[in-house]
Structure 1
Amino acid sequence: MLEQLLDIMALETLAEDRFRGRNMHPRGFRIYGGQVLAQAVCAAQKTVDEDRVVHSQHAYFLRPGDCAEPVVYEVERARDGGSFTSRRVVALQKGRPILVSSMSFQRPEEGYEYQPDLPAVTPPEELPTERQRAIEDGTLDEDFMITTGEDLDVRMVHPIDWRNPQQADGELCNWMKTTGPVADDPALHLSLLTYMSDTMVLDAGLIQHGRSWMEGGLQIASLDHAIWFHAPCRADEWLLHTADLERNSGGRTLVRGRFFTREGVHVATVMQQGLMRTR
């Protein structure tokens, strides 16, 4: 439910610069990485002046998260400068770090403008939702619904049957937004974009070889994740997410993602490296 997603973004304050977050899928097999990334942004934002907006996050996933345990976020105030603010956030479970993240915030400024064009793709109204496809295919996992839940509306431009994937170029596109309206809080919308940014990225590396995350013989996990925010956006309005494979090598995959508004504004860029190897 969208209310649950918004609820997990509202972190509990434990002490100065120390916060606790609940989990979106408490019965899942591991915590969805996008949740920890987004909650880390929320934690850092609580220690930053309201006029400063996050413009980049760089994170490393260190351990799988336990869905049955809350996550504690400790914020280090690395620097408060005239234009930029830097924060380091460690996400902990049972006293052990599961993610470390560095973030930078900036006062809004005017500057030179350039961006790539919005790709010409099928509009979302002409595409099925991933939840609809999962229900029809009988593959809906009630305990770990990320792209198939009732909080996000996700529609792939070229849907993939992950039970029988066919080899294709490592280029994926999907439309995404929340399933309902979200309050007018720019920081919350950027946190929700961060939550979305961990979806379907590593899939571009898999489909290049016609492989699936459902295969028992593959070991797949996010290793590190970076996101740059270029412009404000609304997570409750359609965003086009493109994922393009850069390189597969050394048991790893590297994929670049981009987010565009429906009007064609390029609002964020993502780079993610993941583990992708035979067990």
Structure 2
Amino acid sequence: MLEQLLRVLEPQAVGEDSFVGENMHPKGFRIYGGQVLAQAVSAAQQTVAEERPIHSQHAYFLRPGDCSKPVTYEVERARDGGSFSSRRVVALQEGKPILVSSMSFQLADDSFDFQPEFPEGITPPEDLPSERERALEHNVLNEDFMITDGEDLDVRMGTPINWREPEQMPGRLYNWMRTTAPVGDDPTLHRSLLTYFSDTMLLDAGLIQHGRSYWDRSLQVASLDHAIWYHGDFRADNWLLHTADLERNSGGRTLVRGRFFTHEGRHVATVMQQGLMRKN
């Protein structure tokens, strides 16, 4: 399964600045948004000099993706400046865009450094069960759409939640994530894996504030837009702490901030996601 994920996260060139990616869950009910975000990053990075890693991605989800069809990524080389490169990527299925994304890449610069403190009260991953273990224990494993409970990622929720019968709690969640095996030293791959990780748990923070779940058929829930800022190097095959803090629920939307820290406490990425969260 991990080998499949690594293959999926590297879309293949099929022409000048055009790439095609396969799907991680071909029998799923829709393409997982983190997959499209990560494939877009990988496609764009293939058109940028290696010494210019990505530092930000801003994306809008336009349509649900069809898991039975491949995704085409068209990359526009917007600009290559003295230290920054800009790219625009459109993800398409059957000629229709399902995601548009703008990205910026930058030469390394160590002018200043500051970061927030590592969150307090965090249970270490060694003391938590994995989501796969919990899914198998409660017989709720969905073999066709395994994002947090598959054999490719080891995901451990700080506060395990029964999403079929959720209880109201503050919109502040966290989990630990890493791949289930080493994945080599390519920093581009590690950034793509974090991007894949980044679409998990965020909408959940907005939902749990009201004791609701994505299983609730009286609600419409979907990602609308997603932004990531990458602050430094990390390894996705080592533990990463992902925190999700609800900013605001209003207007049929939820806005949540995510942060990624290494096990040693370095803040390596920040995420913001706005999602649809409204009553039918």
Match of 1:21 in 2: 21
Question: Structure 2 CA distance, aligned partners of 1:21 and 1:164?
Answer: 36
Match of 1:99 in 2: 99
Question: Structure 2 CA distance, aligned partners of 1:163 and 1:32?
Answer: 20
Residue type of the alignment partner of 1:274:
G
Match of 2:37 in 1: 37
Aligned counterparts, 1:105-184, within 5 A: 105-120=105-120, 121-184=122-185
Question: Structure 2 CA distance, aligned partners of 1:219 and 1:152?
Answer: 27
Question: Structure 1 CA distance, aligned partners of 2:103 and 2:157?
Answer: 30
Question: Structure 1 CA distance, aligned partners of 2:202 and 2:18?
Answer: 30
Residue type of the alignment partner of 2:170:
D
| Helix, strand or coil at the partner of 2:31 | coil
Match of 1:212 in 2: 213
Question: Structure 1 CA distance, aligned partners of 2:9 and 2:161?
Answer: 30
Query: Is residue 10–residue 43 contact of structure 2 (8 Å, CA) maintained in 1?
Result: no
Question: Structure 2 CA distance, aligned partners of 1:45 and 1:262?
Answer: 26
Match of 1:185 in 2: 186
Which has the larger displacement, 9-18 or 259-268? 9-18
Match of 1:71 in 2: 71
- TM-superposed CA distance for 1:10, in Å, is 2.2
| Helix, strand or coil at the partner of 1:180 | coil
- TM-superposed CA distance for 1:3, in Å, is 0.5
Match of 1:241 in 2: 242
Structure-1-length-normalised TM-score: 0.99
Q: CA RMSD in A?
A: 0.5
Residue type of the alignment partner of 2:264:
E
- TM-superposed CA distance for 1:122, in Å, is 0.6
Match of 2:226 in 1: 225
Return 5+ residue gaps in structure 2 as ranges: none
| Helix, strand or coil at the partner of 1:19 | strand
Match of 1:57 in 2: 57
Aligned residue pair count: 279
Aligned counterparts, 1:257-272, within 5 A: 257-272=258-273
Question: Structure 2 CA distance, aligned partners of 1:177 and 1:202?
Answer: 20
Match of 1:250 in 2: 251
Deviations 1:158-200 (A, max 9, x none): 1111111111000001000001101100011001000000001
Residue type of the alignment partner of 2:188:
A
Residue type of the alignment partner of 1:86:
S
Question: Structure 1 CA distance, aligned partners of 2:34 and 2:111?
Answer: 30
Return 5+ residue gaps in structure 1 as ranges: none
Dislocated runs of 4+, deviation >3 Å: none
Which has the larger displacement, 6-15 or 240-249? 6-15
Residue type of the alignment partner of 1:230:
H
- TM-superposed CA distance for 1:218, in Å, is 1.0
Residue type of the alignment partner of 1:136:
E
The share of aligned pairs that are identical, in percent, is 72
| Helix, strand or coil at the partner of 1:82 | coil
Residue type of the alignment partner of 2:125:
P
